[in-house]
Structure 1
Amino acid sequence: MRVSTDIQDNGLARLTLRRGEAGNAIDLAMARALLDAAEACARTTVRAVLLTGEGRSFCVGGDLREFSALPAEALENHLTAVTDALHGALRVLAAIDAPLVAAVQGPVAGAGLGLAAAADITLAADNATFTAAYTGIGYVPDAGVSWSLPRLVGPKRALDLLLTNRRLPAAEAARIGLVTRVVDADRLAAEAERTAEALRRGPTTAFGATRRLVAAATTRDLGPHLDSEARALAGAAASAAGREGVAAFLAKRAPDFTDTSYET
């Protein structure tokens, strides 16, 4: 099993990369398994997704051993199949309302960097390091790295990372905005669970609208974006979840967003 999928009745989905002995390197089977896992989340009432990788590394990128074993005439089609599945998984996870939390440790490279950057909240163990790695072997970015890096760290820093392949320690990755925050390695799993659980209890549809607004902000002019914000806010305020949130605030109590009637 390349990716395990645990979707609980309470709406928390745990996706775990299961090639720890290979640094969770992404081969065709893993890319397709990740797409299957993402689609399972899309078919279910999921309120938060937690992405982790077993072993010492979250993900070291593509499986170069698999790629190098292929004849040149087959490699292009093979890599197209890998990226089609991997990018399909990223598209599905970006489209659902449920926020995505990633917990990363050890060496993170290539497509692993893309998975870490795709999360809404990325927690990095203090032993994590990050490198793009692509151009070091004559490749170019995939897994959305050339899209996400400029948005997270700026174009100049993104090109520095993509062209020099320098290795970032976790603290620097947090300082420049590549990850959300750094935690002790022995606390990573617990902190990731706590974060995902807090999001699971939140207003999922409002989270989804917020994710889409932020994603669109870099490509939309201010005027149209303000119109989108206004429509999204009006819809959220009129929803059962919005009414519950305001009622709880005025009553000085914690809101209950987990009642499914609030997701209409």
Structure 2
Amino acid sequence: MAYESIRLDLDAATRVATVTLNRPDKLNSFTRAMHRELAAALDEAVAANARALVLTGAGRGFCAGQDLADLDFTPGASTDLGALIDEHFNPLIRRLHALPMPTIAAVNGTAAGAGANLALACDIAIAARSASFIQAFVKIGLVPDSGGTWFLPQRVGVARALGLAMTGEKLGAEKAESWGLVWQVVDDAELPQAATKLAAQLAQQPTRALVATRSALRAAATNTLDQQLDLERDLQRELGASHDYAEGVRAFIEKRAPRFEGR
């Protein structure tokens, strides 16, 4: 499928899908058309049996959130932001969380508003040294959306989350790393290679186990210890019947590298 506001690259050798937000002149801010194309690209990546996904931005920014030029500000007929979120942003965040593969955000420059939270919706975020994260909502009288009020306190704690959300101040990549907002910071020129290398590494791992690990760690935020122990039991039972578990055990016994297939 041909896309205008994104690019999709599928590497058949590594089985890594790379989705690039491609409106660099607008800092890759979202329009409704871009949302539709991104949803289609995620469908295409799943259909191609990709085993890892990299999400990044073209040009000097990752994503500046919603493109305000795509909204209607006519008095009495202005865009219903709740409807916009319900139709586009929330399904996107839910979709990323439900993808049957690990996801990596390669943050190259500014990640602002919903763009910042889009990066946090991925399993692992790697940031270029020049990258920054801005919860810009307060600057136009709004509340963080796209999961921001859920991701931020989990990643950095309530005190820092409140500071970021209430001031809208820019958080540099290195401080974001020290606060636990991102996994790794690399030099700008190294970001594409670092993200691709990590994605290729994850694509060779037992995909079902990675996705189950993601689900379990997220559930821990609201589960009791007893609930979490039961969840671990249930997931282990399911994975214990998988091809990759059997292959991993055989490879260990035979002292060779495992050949996981994600099933």
TM-score (norm 2): 0.92
Q: Which residue, out of 109, 117, 131, partners 1:106?
A: 109
Q: Secondary structure at the match of 1:4?
A: strand
Distance 1:147 1:44 in 2: 31
| 1:195 pairs with 2:187 | no
- Residue 143 of structure 1, CA deviation: 1.2
Equivalent residue for 1:245? 248
Q: Give the AA of the match of 1:23.
A: L
Equivalent residue for 2:25? 21
Q: 1:158 to 1:255 in 2, by over 3 A?
A: same
Q: Give the AA of the match of 1:28.
A: R
Equivalent residue for 1:141? 144
Q: Which runs of 5+ in 2 are unaligned?
A: none
Equivalent residue for 1:30? 34
Distance 2:26 2:85 in 1: 17
Q: Secondary structure at the match of 1:98?
A: coil
Distance 1:178 1:230 in 2: 29
- Residue 34 of structure 1, CA deviation: 1.9
Equivalent residue for 1:176? 179
- Residue 173 of structure 1, CA deviation: 0.2
More deviation in 220-229 or 24-33?
Answer: 24-33
Q: Which residue, out of 202, 225, 229, partners 1:226?
A: 229
Distance 1:37 1:241 in 2: 27
Equivalent residue for 1:71? 74
Distance 1:239 1:75 in 2: 52
Q: Give the AA of the match of 1:63.
A: D
Distance 1:42 1:74 in 2: 38
Contact 1:38–1:89 (8 Å) recurs in 2: no
Q: CA RMSD in A?
A: 1.7
Q: 1:200 to 1:15 in 2, by over 3 A?
A: same
- Residue 82 of structure 1, CA deviation: 5.1
Residues 44-103 of structure 1, C-alpha deviations (whole Å, 9 max, x = no match): 422111101000000111112333x53143333366235522221221221122000010
Q: 1:75 to 1:31 in 2, by over 3 A?
A: farther
Equivalent residue for 2:66? 62
Contact 1:35–1:85 (8 Å) recurs in 2: no
Aligned length: 259
Q: Give the AA of the match of 1:61.
A: G
- Residue 188 of structure 1, CA deviation: 0.3
Equivalent residue for 1:254? 257
Q: Give the AA of the match of 1:16.
A: T
Contact 1:114–1:144 (8 Å) recurs in 2: yes
Q: 1:102 to 1:38 in 2, by over 3 A?
A: same
Contact 1:32–1:86 (8 Å) recurs in 2: no
Q: Secondary structure at the match of 1:127?
A: coil
| 1:236 pairs with 2:227 | no
Equivalent residue for 1:91? 94
Contact 2:73–2:79 (8 Å) recurs in 1: no
TM-score (norm 1): 0.92
Q: Which runs of 5+ in 1 are unaligned?
A: none
Q: Give the AA of the match of 2:182.
A: V
More deviation in 121-130 or 7-16?
Answer: 7-16
Q: Give the AA of the match of 2:58.
A: E
Q: Percent of aligned pairs with the same residue?
A: 39
Distance 1:150 1:39 in 2: 30
Distance 1:6 1:93 in 2: 17
Q: Secondary structure at the match of 1:134?
A: helix
Q: Secondary structure at the match of 1:101?
A: strand
Equivalent residue for 2:216? 213
Distance 1:171 1:231 in 2: 38
Distance 2:179 2:34 in 1: 30
- Residue 7 of structure 1, CA deviation: 3.4
